[in-house]
Amino acid sequence: MTGLSVVTFTCVDPMFETVFGPVFEDQALCGYIKSDAEHVMSRTRQTSDPDKRWWVVVSPAGEALAWCAAWAMNSDPRTIMCGENYERRGLGRELAVYPLAFAARQEWLIKQPITNAVTYIFRQPIELHEAAGWCKTGATATSHHEHQWWELVWANPLTLHG
């Protein structure tokens, strides 16, 4: 499909409501997100951190097809938490567009004055992360939804020797 774009914003940007408003209103989609990825998509939860940055693959019609986010960890401001990774059922998965959102976030991460990043993900996107320099820590768990999660970390090559 041509015309896909990746947009980035925080919850204080008007683009947040334009892109995610329809997602919040679609209760079936919010249910899929919770069962697929254990994310709660609600305005209250997603606006609780005004510094959380989103990368969203948007269709020509303005539909959010896949997304991911990043935010500073309160315990260590030099570490970025990456999460909220999701590829929407239907067109998002048919087109396999999550790598576009991931690549945009990864490009942003490299430019940040941080030492590392951490994420917790399912098996499916691990190879994509490893190809970008992320490494499994060995920490893994099964959630109460029976999803297997792995912890991965990424060290910023620009700050390793600085």
1 has a pLDDT exceeding 70: no
- For the chain, what are the domain ranges? 5-114
CA–CA dist 30, 74 (Å, integer): 27
160 has a pLDDT exceeding 60: no
Instruction: Find out if CATH 1.50.10 is the number for domain 5-114.
Output: no
Map 55-82 to HEC letters.
Answer: EEEECCCCCEEEEEEEEEECCEEEEEEE
pLDDT of residue 76: 80
- CB of 88 within 8 A of CB of 66? yes
CA–CA dist 120, 6 (Å, integer): 22
For residue 131, give the 3-state DSSP assignment: helix
Q: Which tens digit of pLDDT belongs to each residue from 79-101? A: 899 999 999 999 999 999 999 99
pLDDT of residue 106: 95
Q: Which tens digit of pLDDT belongs to each residue from 107-159? A: 999 998 888 899 988 777 889 899 999 999 998 888 776 778 888 899 887 77
Q: Which tens digit of pLDDT belongs to each residue from 40-55? A: 888 888 888 888 999 9
Query: Is residue 74 exposed (0-12), middle (13-18) or buried (19+ Cβ within 10 Å)?
Result: exposed
162 has a pLDDT exceeding 70: no
pTM, entire model: 0.88
161 has a pLDDT exceeding 80: no
